[in-house]
Amino acid sequence: MGAYQDVFTASLADSSAFWAEAATAVDWTRKPQRILDDSRPPFYRWFPDGELNTCANALDRHVEAGRGEQAALIYDSPVTGIRRTYSYAELLEETARCAGALRALGVERGDRVVIYMPMIPEAVISMLACARLGAVHSVVFGGFAPNELAVRIDDVRPKLIITASCGIEPSRVIEYLPMIEDAIGLATHPPMHCVVVQRNGYHRDIARGRDVDWAEMMAEASPVDPVPVAATDPLYVLYTSGTTGKPKGIVRDNGGHAVALQWTMRHIYDISPGDVFWAASDVGWVVGHSYIVYGPLLAGATTVLYEGKPVGTPDPGAFWRMINDYSINALFTAPTALRVIRKEDPDANHLAGWDLSSLRNLFVAGERLDPDTYHWAVEHLQIPVIDHWWQTETGWAIAANPMGLQEFPVKPGSPTKPMPGYDVQILTEDGTESEPGREGAICIKLPMPPGTLATLWDADDRYVSSYLSEHPGYYLTGDGGRIDEDGYLFVMGRTDDVINVAGHRLSTGAIEEVLATHPSVAECAVIGVPDAIKGQAARGLVVLKAGADDEDLVTDLVKMVRDEIGAVAAFRLVDVVPALPKTRSGKILRKTLRGIAAGRDEPMPSTIEDASVLAALRAILTRG
Ligand code: COA
Ligand code: AMP
């Protein structure tokens, strides 16, 4: 048996012993005596009597251990030309002061703070400062529109919002303050204060009284010590798209999260203290939470915050320049980023001149790594390219090739094997565990390991109905797939109405809700269709009301989605169709629509009786 098999088997045979051992890598203010509380299934709590502070584990203890001068955070912003490195001592100093300032504004343990920010160091400092106080942060991705921000504000009810004067995209400046104003106007539970980081050269007027200037706040603040919290206290709430328009607030605890992430840094990513780890994602996504902010810092590594794109800032050599400049040891990105680099630089000419000898592994996740992109990356980088599969809900990889434990030969198209603690099963429709090779719903037998979601914010019932009811005793991932005879998992895609555009998770239901409000639209459906670069794109199909005018319709609908959901939806494809296929009970058959749009010969239901209508619908769908 190899190292992996021993570890994996041990993790399932005696999960308490396994995670108790992993928990010794964390500094506890009260060491947990109980490892798993399984007294209230399907709710499970890890380390129920443990007490710790996540920020102290990410910063203070490294400084105390003599690593204060080591780089903790490297900020590189090609969109502004700014580069800055924070040592552990500096990052701790800023974070402790920020925590003091937040406390002076009334933030205490258990209070929520919404963070709506671009990729600047203050975003990381704000998150860590919340953790230091035992407050709960909820980061909202900057590409979401005010309405989406308002929905999250009303759900999580923050005491304050931390934001910046603007975000800087290569094509334009994103003005945050008008969006904050709109969101606060829409929200029924507005925060008491907004803290605003004024970006260099982009000072904006703020509403004195309610609004607080970050720099002034920091100048007056005194540093505060970390507040010990229960391991089961929430560290953050991160909203993600479900099948409906209402996002799900994934709740992450402190203790399980710290234990699990540390385990992954060493065993999955092969990262030790002092190594440089770069997750080219955004702090608004789970990858940013786990692997820009918490994972690398918990591990005593150096993390990288990159405010740029894979291409255009300034060219497709941007990632290679970063690796060269900071001697990066591991890069984590989304397959989309590799596809867009490859499109602009198919022969990877932009690699020339950069020293990539520090880079040991390239990790990808967020969407399926297609074999073509895999082969391209391996050919040009000549290092292991590791696909791994996970979700906002789990916070860390469900399946991976654990490079710090045992490297497996890669099977392109597979994220390799289940990670410790994840009893992955493929369930058939009647809920039985299926044998190797058969496709079905990918489920995880409960309990899931530490670090996975504890529940949904203020919605225990929805947590159960969304994930745990379909197959009692199992967590439903929402992905379909199979396990082959060698134990490799193959993830084939979502089985629900969630889509993945450029590694960004979106709800087709949310887009439909926007389209349906247009006065000319009688009914609509939104499906994910294949896109060569972004993996998937959202495509809208609308049926018009009798006599409705469709002039400007497409432009209007595209604008509505951008205004209501945000630029991140990248919604551009809309077609008027004569009818939508439905079940007898009136449910729109999105699966049939997806199948036809993807070129499969799906049978149309008998609810559309007119052959010419059917033919027209087919023609529109297959036109692409
Ligand atoms: N704030 C505000 N707007 C944002 C934003 C942010 N943080 N991020 C993206 N947007 C905007 C973009 O400017 C774009 O607007 P536009 O329609 O006016 O051009 C829109 O949202 C769509 O963005 P995106 O889908 O990211 O497309 P893009 O063309 O800007 O970039 C890639 C394409 C492939 C370079 C980019 O999507 C990428 O780097 N993807 C990697 C995905 C990733 O990191 N996923 C996280 C999981 S690992
Ligand atoms: P998110 O919650 O945004 O991380 O999105 C999670 C979803 O993205 C998963 O349920 C999958 O559908 C998809 N996904 C993430 N990583 C992978 C991967 N490595 N392979 C296939 N699909 C993936």
What would the pLDDT profile of 465-510 be if each residue is shown by its tens digit? Answer: 999 999 999 999 999 999 999 999 999 999 998 999 999 999 999 9
Q: Is residue 149 part of a domain?
A: yes
What atom of ligand 2 comes closest to residue 504's alpha carbon? Answer: 3
pLDDT digits (tens, 9 = 90+) for 109-150: 999 999 999 999 999 999 999 999 999 999 999 999 999 999
Ligand nearest to the CA of 532: 1
Mean pLDDT of 280-302: 98
Domain-ending residue, one of 227, 242, 257:
227
Alpha-helical segments (H) within 382-528: 460-463, 508-515
Cα–Cα nearest to 55, from 251, 267, 228, 269: 228
**Cβ of residue 120 lying under 6 Å from some atom of ligand 1:** no
In the prediction, which pLDDT does 624 show? 65
Name residues contacting ligand 2 (CB within 6 A): 240, 286, 365-368, 387-392, 415, 477-479, 491, 494, 500, 505
Percent of the chain predicted with pLDDT > 70: 99
Mean pLDDT of 63-81: 98
Statement: residue 399 has pLDDT above 90: yes
φ/ψ region of 183 (left if φ > 0, alpha if ψ in -120 to 50, else beta) reads: alpha
Here the CATH number for the domain that contains residue 592 is 3.30.300.30
Mean pLDDT of 254-271: 98
Domain-ending residue, one of 180, 211, 227:
227
φ/ψ region of 21 (left if φ > 0, alpha if ψ in -120 to 50, else beta) reads: alpha
In the prediction, which pLDDT does 618 show? 87
Q: Is residue 339 part of a domain?
A: no
d(C-alpha 42, C-alpha 292), whole Å: 31
Mean pLDDT of 428-438: 93
Ligand nearest to the CA of 388: 2
How many CA atoms, within 13 angstroms, populate the side-chain half-sphere of residue 527?
A: 21
Whether residue 50 contacts residue 256, with contact meaning beta carbons closer than 8 Å, is answered with no
DSSP string over 509-523: HHHHHHHTTSTTEEE
pLDDT digits (tens, 9 = 90+) for 43-71: 999 999 999 999 999 999 999 999 999 99
What atom of ligand 2 comes closest to residue 477's alpha carbon? Answer: 10
Statement: residue 30 has pLDDT above 80: yes
pTM, rounded to two decimals: 0.96
Q: Is residue 313 part of a domain?
A: no
Q: Is residue 527 part of a domain?
A: yes
Domain-ending residue, one of 211, 227, 243:
227
In the prediction, which pLDDT does 198 show? 98
In the prediction, which pLDDT does 614 show? 80
Here the CATH number for the domain that contains residue 143 is 3.40.50.980
Mean pLDDT of 222-228: 98
Ligand nearest to the CA of 392: 2
Statement: residue 606 has pLDDT above 80: no
In the prediction, which pLDDT does 584 show? 83
In the prediction, which pLDDT does 587 show? 87
Nearest-CA residue for atom 4 of ligand 2: 391
Q: Is residue 219 part of a domain?
A: yes
pLDDT digits (tens, 9 = 90+) for 375-394: 999 999 999 999 999 999 99
Q: What total number of domains does the chain contain? A: 2
**Cβ of residue 337 lying under 6 Å from some atom of ligand 1:** yes
Q: Strand locations in 262-373, DSSP E?
A: 276-279, 302-306, 330-333, 361-364
Statement: residue 1 has pLDDT above 60: no
In the prediction, which pLDDT does 218 show? 98
What atom of ligand 1 comes closest to residue 333's alpha carbon? Answer: 48
Print the domain residue range for 571.
498-622
**Cβ of residue 287 lying under 6 Å from some atom of ligand 1:** yes
Whether residue 90 contacts residue 321, with contact meaning beta carbons closer than 8 Å, is answered with no
Ligand nearest to the CA of 374: 2
What atom of ligand 1 comes closest to residue 504's alpha carbon? Answer: 45
Statement: residue 400 has pLDDT above 80: yes
Statement: residue 597 has pLDDT above 90: no
| Stretch among 222-226, 537-541, 557-561, 583-587 having the lowest mean pLDDT | 583-587
Backbone angles phi, psi at 527, to 5 degrees: -130, 160
Q: Is residue 186 part of a domain?
A: yes
Q: Is residue 476 part of a domain?
A: no
Higher-confidence position of 425 and 613: 425
What atom of ligand 2 comes closest to residue 491's alpha carbon? Answer: 21
Q: Is residue 538 part of a domain?
A: yes
In the prediction, which pLDDT does 150 show? 97
Average pLDDT, the chain: 96
Mean pLDDT of 337-358: 98
